[in-house]
Structure 1
């Protein structure tokens, strides 16, 4: 189950006692506050708290840049200007705190984004639940033959069944051993901080994760990308739903200038200009390495 009975009771109590506030409120975010979004088989994303909205971004920009932005006539235009020119500090005026339940191997990818405050469930003090991520059939794929960190064709039939059985059996056996080592029935029982080292990477952990909007956009640009690993991408997609409702003007600019945009190098610009002028440009005359040229052609064509 994504939430424990205690967590569900806490959420029900919070939603049953709304309070008046003088803080800026995002109506879109209020609809998400405390409501868990289920992810994978046992995971979740839940908004615990937030600060700021689109207006907070605009307010910070106008205080910071003053007359320099007066030519921008409206809030949406200003936010697009900030996004287009890579101004970051106004977006840092918005913050979000999430409760996330996720497999340990996903958490180890996620923690590489070192621009957040994190407090994780401690298996030194508490006993982890018997919950493991087991991929659905459409997420069970072979190693890619062209990308060392990607997936290839889906496993099917007996091969898929064999792998799923291994995952389930190993997870169950590891947790049985974990419980046996912790047990004080006729023995002292191993310390929790030691017993946990036997657990597999697909067991679920939980944390509170707080970050600002600028760094959250960076996280989403990388992890909501189609090339990101599926298991972290579905969490990014769930967070994106929330951000879209929280700061719709900022999200629209982010979607346009980051998610849906393409970055091009100075060499790429030069090649495009030469191609538009009618020149035949090849990888050898482009000044690009083979991989860069392949990406350039895939994006821009000949």
Structure 2
């Protein structure tokens, strides 16, 4: 493995597999009144029943949105995953382990689009862009720090220190990879908290890096379940 650090400012999300469509919501909802005849929904055009999807979201009947599954492969800094793992209901995770493999020297450095300066008091603050000098300083200081920490990691490994001990020298800006599996209901809850959107009934103030991951996941979900996604937006981006 190369010992030359690499620096990134992006996040990546790949939809690995899924069983998710708007029809999944419809047959799950209609079993309450149609019983086994609800299976007739499986082959029907969900456009015929988009009003039902909207009703379920509007009145927060949530369980029909759980009968689907999406598995994503996510690459992001460790500090993003530490926020991500606070979402426990309806989520399953498996992340690469620094105990079992030598970790690659890939680190996060924010680009010029990332606001750098926090302004205001706790509970009522905003982030603003920052100056060109501040962006240059952040890049230089972080890159120098990452090079030092990875050199320390390599020194420990070369001395025979176990990977699970040597990894303590690495920062949370190191990129990691995980599989994250969820259903539409748990994803909507995640998006409600981890995106900032003018259509949201309840304002949210996510850290930009996890919002970048959320935006990529939302784009994949919107393609799979367009009627559910539209109803989510129409009803204030609140999970049912």
> Please, what TM-score do these two structures have when normalized by structure 2?
0.82
Residue pairs, 1:262-277, within 5 angstroms: none
C-alpha displacement of 1:200 = 0.5
Residue pairs, 1:233-252, within 5 angstroms: 233-252=211-230
C-alpha displacement of 1:163 = 2.4
* Runs of 4 or more above 4 Å deviation: 148-151
Report how many aligned residue pairs link the two structures: 213
Instruction: Confirm or deny that 1:88 pairs with 2:62.
Output: yes
2:52 to 67, 78, 96: 78
Indicate the SS of the match to 2:128. strand
> Please, what TM-score do these two structures have when normalized by structure 1?
0.66
1:177 and 1:148 map into 2 onto residues whose CA distance is: 38
1:109 and 1:199 map into 2 onto residues whose CA distance is: 18
1:179 and 1:91 map into 2 onto residues whose CA distance is: 47
C-alpha displacement of 1:149 = 8.4
Q: Which has the higher contact order (CA 8 A, sep 6+)?
A: 2
C-alpha displacement of 1:153 = 2.6
Q: For residue 27 of structure 1, what is the aligned residue in structure 2?
A: none
2:77 to 90, 95, 103: 103
- Indicate how the Cα distance of structure 1 residues 194 and 85 shifts in structure 2: closer, same or farther if over 3 A, else same: same
Q: For residue 191 of structure 1, what is the aligned residue in structure 2?
A: 162
2:217 and 2:192 map into 1 onto residues whose CA distance is: 12
8 Å contact from structure 2 (residues 115, 127) kept in 1: no
8 Å contact from structure 2 (residues 54, 231) kept in 1: yes
- Indicate how the Cα distance of structure 1 residues 144 and 86 shifts in structure 2: closer, same or farther if over 3 A, else same: same
Indicate the SS of the match to 1:137. coil
- Unmatched 5+ stretches in structure 2: 1-7, 36-46, 198-204
C-alpha displacement of 1:254 = 0.5
Q: For residue 220 of structure 1, what is the aligned residue in structure 2?
A: 191
Q: Answer with 1 or 2: which has the greater Rg.
A: 1
8 Å contact from structure 2 (residues 16, 71) kept in 1: yes
Instruction: Confirm or deny that 1:166 pairs with 2:144.
Output: no
Q: For residue 131 of structure 1, what is the aligned residue in structure 2?
A: 106
1:53 and 1:258 map into 2 onto residues whose CA distance is: 21
8 Å contact from structure 1 (residues 52, 94) kept in 2: yes
1:75 and 1:157 map into 2 onto residues whose CA distance is: 52
- Indicate how the Cα distance of structure 1 residues 179 and 148 shifts in structure 2: closer, same or farther if over 3 A, else same: farther
Richer in strand (by share): 2
1:228 and 1:196 map into 2 onto residues whose CA distance is: 28
2:195 and 2:33 map into 1 onto residues whose CA distance is: 31
8 Å contact from structure 2 (residues 11, 212) kept in 1: no
1:150 and 1:174 map into 2 onto residues whose CA distance is: 32
- Unmatched 5+ stretches in structure 1: 1-39, 68-72, 262-302
- Indicate how the Cα distance of structure 1 residues 65 and 230 shifts in structure 2: closer, same or farther if over 3 A, else same: farther
2:222 and 2:190 map into 1 onto residues whose CA distance is: 15
2:64 and 2:110 map into 1 onto residues whose CA distance is: 39
Indicate the SS of the match to 1:113. coil
